[in-house]
A and B are shown apart, each in its own frame.
Chain A
Amino acid sequence: MRHLTDIELQEVRKEITRKEISSAEILMEIYDHYISHLQEFPEEEFNEQLFELDQKFTYAYCHALQAKFKKAAHADISKTQWQVLRSYFCLGRWMYFVGFLAMAIYLSTYFQTVEEAKLIILLPFILLFGFQLYYGYQSYKHMKPIRQNFKGIGIPIQSSLAGFFENRASLPGMFIYAFISFPALFFNWEPTKVIAPQVAAVFTVLITLYALSLIEVWKIKSKTALV
């Protein structure tokens, strides 16, 4: 086994860049495969072996691999989040949850204004925002060596799981946007006016639970993935 020269490494990166892979997971795996393989051969055989590898890792193959990986990763995260929620809700925790919910509903009866209800519903977003900041930093740290290797290729390299976490973290925001932006729907309409603070309290509890489960999934995945 030998170490590849800088020129050889550049050549490898150039060939891989042509495949226009944007998934960091696939990129790092293919790059490692190329290097591990080429290190086994003497310098004279470098070009021939690189050509052979390119015949195996074609553009179409890499993109199919990337698409399948993304699909499987997303399905895996959804499954994990569901498992986290299910395992969370054992009998003892159901009681905690019901107690917490009852307390939130009770406190909501003290709300005097629409602004107070809006404010309470925004509380879990502090948690989600904090999570997004921390997660963004951790993801940046994990991605740094891969981005450095493929600097300036003109394709944004991102973890296949990153987009999923971003979407999931912003999902409750879109829902609550309606609650905050159209208060008339909840606070001025006669049938919902009376229970609006309680609805806000229930949403707060549910979104908190959702945020906690998402953080739990991230904690599990961050041990093994680039997030």
Chain B
Amino acid sequence: MYRMHMSTNNLIKGSLQTIILKLLEENERMYGYEITQRVKELTEGEIKITEGALYPALHKLEAEGLLTTEIQQVDNRVRKYYSLTKDGQKEVSAKMSELQSFVGHLQRILDPEWKPGLA
């Protein structure tokens, strides 16, 4: 089980930014921990975003101007929420088609008989 998680996490590394952008497109605003939990929930625990990869990716997207942040007091602490900027919203579709095209190519390599649209 541990080995499977490890290999899944390695596979997910290159797609992390796309996952974050897509989640934020659907959820308007999210904080770091919430993103990890949402991914875990959607994949029934099969994919776990590690904190080691999540925060550098969030900060990078923020620095690139694709994400904006909002600080809010929650209980007795401060929470940083991330949301998409206008550039980020445009980038989601570009990143999504890039990833979908990659998955399609990968599918063709793994199964040369496979054609898009076929189950």
Q: Which positions in A face B, CB cutoff 8 Å?
A: 3, 25, 28-29, 31-33, 35-37, 56-57, 61, 65, 68-69, 72-73, 75-76, 142, 145-146, 149, 224-226
Distance (whole angstroms) from the CB of A114 to the closest CB of chain B: 46
Contact yes or no, B50 A224, CB < 8 A: no
A interface: dominant SS: helix
Closest to B69 in A: A224
Interface residues of B in 45-84 (CB under 8 A from A): 50-52, 55-56, 59-60, 62-63, 65, 68-71, 73-80
Contact yes or no, A31 B33, CB < 8 A: no
Q: Which positions in B face A, CB cutoff 8 Å?
A: 31-34, 50-52, 55-56, 59-60, 62-63, 65, 68-71, 73-80
Sorted nearest first, the 9 A-B pairs with minimum C-beta distance are A72-B63, A36-B33, A28-B78, A224-B69, A33-B33, A56-B51, A32-B79, A76-B63, A69-B59
Contact yes or no, A224 B79, CB < 8 A: no
Contact yes or no, A146 B33, CB < 8 A: no
Closest to B68 in A: A224
Q: How far is the CA of A219 from the CA of B15 in the complex (A)?
A: 34
* Contacts A36-B31, A72-B60, A145-B73 supplied; 17 other A-B pairs, CB < 8 Å: A28-B77, A28-B80, A29-B32, A31-B77, A32-B31, A32-B77, A32-B78, A32-B79, A35-B75, A35-B77, A36-B33, A57-B51, A61-B52, A72-B62, A75-B63, A145-B77, A224-B71
Kindly count the residue-residue contacts between A and B in the assembled complex, taking CB atoms under 8 Å apart: 63
Contact yes or no, A149 B77, CB < 8 A: yes
Q: How far is the CA of A75 from the CA of B64 in the complex (A)?
A: 10
Contact yes or no, A145 B52, CB < 8 A: no
Taking CB atoms, residues of chain A closer than 8 Å to B60 are 72
Taking CB atoms, residues of chain A closer than 8 Å to B34 are 36
The 8 Å CB contact of A65, one of B33, B55, B68, B69, is: B55
Q: How far is the CA of A194 from the CA of B64 in the complex (A)?
A: 48
Distance (whole angstroms) from the CB of B85 to the closest CB of chain A: 10
Distance (whole angstroms) from the CB of B48 to the closest CB of chain A: 11
